[in-house]
Amino acid sequence: MENIDTLVNNYFNKAVEDLRRLIQINSIYDASSADSSNPFGIGAAECLNSFLNLANDDGFSVKNIDNYAGYAECGSGDLIGILAHLDVVPAGNIDNWKYHPYAAEIHDNKIYGRGTADDKGPLIAAYTALKILKDNYQLNKRFRIITGCDEETSMRCLKRYKETEEIPVFSFSPDASFPAVNGEKGQIQIVMKRDFIHQGYEPIKLLGLTCGEAVNIVPNEAYAYFSGNIAMMKRQLEEIAGDDLEIDFFENDYLRVKANGKAVHSMHAPDGVNAMYKLFRYLAHPDLDYGPWELMHWIRSMSVILDDKNCSKNLGINFSDEFGELTINMGLLRYKSADLQLHFDIRYPVTMKPSKFESKLPLITEKIMMLTQINKHTPPLYVDENNIYLKELLNAYSSVTNEEAKPITIGGRTYCTAMPNSVSFGAKFPQDEELAHQANECMDLGNFKKIITIYLQALINLNNL
């Protein structure tokens, strides 16, 4: 039997090409092309079928579950699951990318593209490791890679899988961080609404506000649109603007104001710069006067309450436990013709009871002065660190990296919250920058090879249990 490093080297070039093949398919949730045959849109279905065709060609047994999800399986015995997703978040402004997000170009030993880190790269790493195991070892377990197309929105794919398919005795998801994740914070997404009525004659009118493409991304761009005496508004804004504010006439009829921030995954919200929070601070300047006046005064209040570092404290929900603290992100805002909507993504501590957190929502309603509705609520996840399967994953990580391996807790939400006896295992290394949901998302090919090696060792360990 060849050693693990040699085996990985033999399969590595194909793994890179398999990954490029998936990245080149735009698999965002697309409501415009969604129908009964393509529940999450044509791109997601295409990506799922591309992966299943790949696995079928490589000798796996495959099944497509109504284009919601699918799986590739090998072996016999107790079923071990690998949970990964093929859908991606929107790429955002293409101009913010060094290389096209769906071209899968390789530069400086990195492959660039939406999904390289979350979650197509880790999926192909785990798939390649399983193919090596299948081709070179006697299988004592059944291994099933379960892939879905709706992880980034509401996980309807995995819910559909569980309606008709077998539940593994244990699963891991390559969709978070190493060494392994045995705790995931609770997640609640809320929608807040309010009408701001125009009072009549207003020399300068705020016509629209907008930011964000997904609630679980800190928005890096935010826009405001003004009509009326826009020449005066432009002069006033230019007097207070910094380098992070762009002000210009829009189609000669409106003034468009753009604030720039820094996008990160909402689970790391304090590490990003929310462009709308920044825009609020500019629009709250006391020298500015515009209508609707009720909206202007609300923006001034929000400029104090909403910020990247102390948002939860200002809202009275700054809870924490030994595993981490609450984070909150306003990922979407839309205002037009009086109607204003905000969408918040909140990750709360592992040990906090869901009912207790829901009882705190009136604090947010009171502070932000808007009607509140829960759009999604997923309770926290915790798996005991003495779990025998978890220990084998940690042993695999230690044996490949020569590093101590202890489980961690994260603010992200993975398929593990919806599948019993599951933990996340990689694929981000502790020292690496978080690239998921950001422009210029990429996978270092050296790391890619190491990830495959770790997953292969983990599968060998699980196979021998």
pLDDT in tens, 271-282: 999 999 999 999
Give phi and psi for 154, each to the nearest 5.
-140, 15
| Residues in a beta bridge with 195 | 339
The residue-averaged pLDDT of 123-148 equals 98
Q: Say how far apart CA 305 and CA 295 lie, in whole Å.
A: 15
Q: Residues 387-405: what's their mean pLDDT?
A: 96
Q: Which residues are catalytic?
A: 87, 151
Q: Domains in the chain, start-ordered, CATH in brackets?
A: 4-184+381-463 (3.40.630.10), 187-378 (3.30.70.360)
**Residue 1: pLDDT over 70:** no
pLDDT digits (tens, 9 = 90+) for 205-230: 999 999 998 898 999 999 999 999 99
Apex 172 CA angle, 455 and 409, nearest 5: 105
Q: What is the pLDDT of residues 120-134, one digit of tens each?
A: 999 999 999 999 999
* Nearest in space to 26 (alpha carbons), one of 6, 40, 15, 39: 40
Total-model pTM? 0.75
Given pLDDT bands bounded at 50, 70 and 90, which one contains residue 288?
very high
Mean pLDDT over 88-103 rounds to 95
User: Would you say 61 and 41 are in contact if contact means Cβ atoms under 8 Å apart?
Assistant: no
Neighbours of 4 (CB within 10 A): 19
Give the range among 94-103, 134-143, 202-211, 250-259 with minimum mean pLDDT.
Answer: 250-259
> What's the CA dihedral at 372, 419, 45, 30 to 10 degrees?
10
Residue 417 has pLDDT above 60, yes or no: yes
Q: Percentages helix, strand, coil for the chain, rounded to the nearest 5?
A: 35, 30, 35
* Rounded to 5°, angle at Cα 218 from 357 and 367: 45
